[in-house]
Homo-oligomer: A and B are copies of this chain.
């Protein structure tokens, strides 16, 4: 009893769900609140980029895995997966570049990811290697179009920390690259989602991966507070950015 949903309606429903989700995040997420209040220190921003480095390392890989696994019988979607993976390869180095450019006298001492970051990474692999192959598009959908939502916050941080665009390559380069990507993702969703179930699974992955990312942002604040209180030593090199 599956009826076809037109791509336009499906995308509009995803967009509406995404708006609601971001609205909830802006209402309750401690990282967002600190940004709005001008409370993002260099150390806290560096810790955020440390976690960004970790999950970004895996994005090209799990994107490619969709093409290896489920998308393999749809040559056009498979090609899309590998092309996007190629374009995302190495983007984790932007996160490292931005950390270094904060203060070249601080040596990066990369630590393992936070558990919230690990959970996000684990989830992205899982939705990439099994289940409905359209589902990872739900992650791409919000990730490639997040700038509309987050650029004001990025601008607050940039201004507060006095950073140039060249020091924020991860956000600012991505925002430019991703305009085209976001359009391609929407086109692929409209092409590949055929049934209400397809749209529902893509939407679920959109919401869950965004929630896990918001959980990571929250985790960064909590970990930063533990670092500041001396309760952990994980990634404590970031404290030197404010020393």
A residues apposed to B, CB below 8 Å: 57, 60-61, 64-65, 67-68, 72, 75-76, 78-79, 82-83, 85-86, 89-90, 93, 115, 118-119, 121-123, 125-127, 204, 207-208, 212
Contact = CB atoms under 8 A, between A and B. Distances in A.
Given A79-B86, A119-B123, 6 more contacts: A57-B72, A60-B78, A75-B89, A82-B86, A118-B208, A122-B127
20 contacts: A57-B72, A60-B78, A61-B67, A61-B68, A61-B72, A64-B65, A67-B85, A67-B89, A68-B68, A75-B93, A79-B90, A82-B86, A85-B85, A115-B204, A121-B126, A122-B125, A122-B127, A123-B123, A125-B126, A126-B126
Q: Quick one: copies of this chain in the complex?
A: 4
A90 B61 contact: no
Contact of A85 (B64, B118, B119, B121): B64
A65 B72 CA distance: 13
Contacts of A122: 119, 122-123, 125-127
Nearest to A124: B122
Nearest to A212: B119
Contacts of A125: 122, 125-126
A68 B76 CA distance: 20
A75 B85 CA distance: 11
A22 B83 CA distance: 33
Given A64-B68, A67-B85, A125-B126, A208 B119 contact: yes
Contacts of A67: 60-61, 64, 85, 89
A57 to B, nearest CB: 8
Nearest to A78: B89
A31 to B, nearest CB: 19
Contacts of A123: 118-119, 122-123
A97 to B, nearest CB: 12
Contacts of A121: 126
A231 to B, nearest CB: 14
A46 to B, nearest CB: 22
